[in-house]
């Protein structure tokens, strides 16, 4: 009996090497496709029932229809979220969709880093040091133990952030429609009114799109800092920019942003950025932007690759035991 084949779209060489290592352990045959999954590249997956895609690429109805025509029956996204996949179309076409879980420590650690950078004005300090300007900042930083931190979403990552925050001695508030952590749960409105830092860890769904809308942003504590390492569309970006420019909010640290597609994960040093809100955010000294990189650790990548292979094998063996 031949090895199970998996077509893997758009992964870098480091990720590809992990696939080769785990493929040898699990007895599967990876086929690497350099391009992103699309209707045009679907033919490259011909002969494979299972394919792997990343979270960077929108998997549209047209893409799904083309993959189906070439025999694809299962798509495993190398991410927790599936908001980039047209799930309704996949169901109608009879294509099963799987996702993966990975070390929550990767995003949790990064979230804490962003919090600390934001309250200690790290962006300004480092930029000034780069030009040999070594005076102290005009405004001193703050300490987490003196602050209230609100965690919106207490799944695996939200809980990992809470665990880390306990060591800093700050007050922690939490909001989730399904409370599951040992934390002080309050309504979302109360969390926003009381928190000096608001950190988002909700999945992106229809009911969480623009969870932080203009009204809720107006209801936030004056001078509060927003942290987002989840999904960009959780925030109404124009409303956030306005609140920051007007000085109602004290800052933001964003690893994700609405409209990041086509910008993040690309070298844009020699091309114009056609995202006015991103440019306005980056012009503010109290805003930190990073390119959707919170998940990107060795440990998390190993988790992602191994879970992808195990999911594809489970589908091929018709066990339905998807590793999520």
Q: What is the DSSP letter of 170?
A: -
pLDDT digits (tens, 9 = 90+) for 106-147: 999 999 999 999 999 999 999 999 999 999 988 999 999 999
Entry pTM? 0.92
Phi and psi at 197, nearest 5°, equal: -130, 135
Residues 238-266: tens digit of each pLDDT: 999 999 999 999 999 999 999 999 999 99
Domains of the chain by start residue, with CATH: 4-102+298-316 (3.40.50.720), 105-289 (3.40.50.720)
Give the closest residue to 254 by CA, choosing from 274, 234, 273: 234
Question: In this structure, how many other beta carbons lie within 10 angstroms of the beta carbon of residue 31?
Answer: 14
Q: At residue 322, does pLDDT exceed 60? A: no
Six token digits for residue 217: 């942003």
Instruction: Give backbone dihedrals phi and psi of 260, rounded to 5 degrees, phi first.
Output: -70, -20
Mean of the per-residue pLDDT values of the chain: 95
Known catalytic residues are 231, 260, 292
């Amino acid at each position: 009996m031949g090895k199970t084949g998996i077509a893997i779209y758009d992964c870098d060489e480091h990720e590809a090497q992990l696939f080769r290592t785990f493929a040898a352990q699990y007895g599967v045959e990876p086929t690497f496709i350099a391009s992103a999954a699309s209707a045009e590249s679907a033919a490259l997956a011909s002969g494979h029932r299972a394919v792997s895609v990343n979270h960077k690429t929108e998997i549209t109805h047209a893409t799904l229809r083309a993959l189906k025509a070439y025999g694809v029956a299962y798509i495993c996204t190398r991410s927790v979220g599936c908001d980039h996949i047209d799930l309704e179309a996949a169901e109608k076409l009879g294509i099963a969709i799987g996702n993966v879980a990975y070390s929550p420590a990767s995003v949790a650690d990064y979230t804490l880093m962003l919090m600390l950078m934001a309250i200690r004005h790290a962006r300004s300090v480092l930029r000034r040091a780069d030009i040999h300007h070594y005076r102290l900042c005009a405004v001193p930083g703050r300490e987490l133990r003196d602050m209230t931190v609100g965690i919106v979403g207490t799944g695996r990552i939200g809980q990992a952030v809470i665990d880390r925050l306990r060591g800093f001695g700050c007050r922690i508030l939490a909001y989730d429609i399904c409370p599951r952590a040992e934390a002080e749960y309050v309504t979302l409105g109360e969390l926003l009114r009381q928190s000096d830092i608001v950190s988002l860890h909700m999945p992106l769904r229809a009911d969480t799109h623009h969870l932080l809308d203009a009204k809720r942003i107006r209801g936030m504590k004056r001078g509060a800092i927003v942290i987002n390492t989840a999904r960009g569309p959780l925030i109404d970006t124009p409303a956030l920019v306005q609140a920051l420019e007007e000085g109602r909010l004290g800052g933001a640290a964003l690893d994700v942003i609405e409209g990041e597609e086509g910008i993040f994960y690309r070298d844009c040093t020699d091309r114009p950025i056609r995202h006015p809100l991103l440019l306005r955010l980056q012009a503010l000294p109290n805003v930190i932007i990073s390119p959707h990189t919170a998940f990107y650790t060795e440990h998390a990548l190993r988790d992602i690759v191994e879970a992808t292979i195990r999911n594809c094998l489970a589908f091929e063996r018709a066990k339905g035991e998807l590793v999520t």
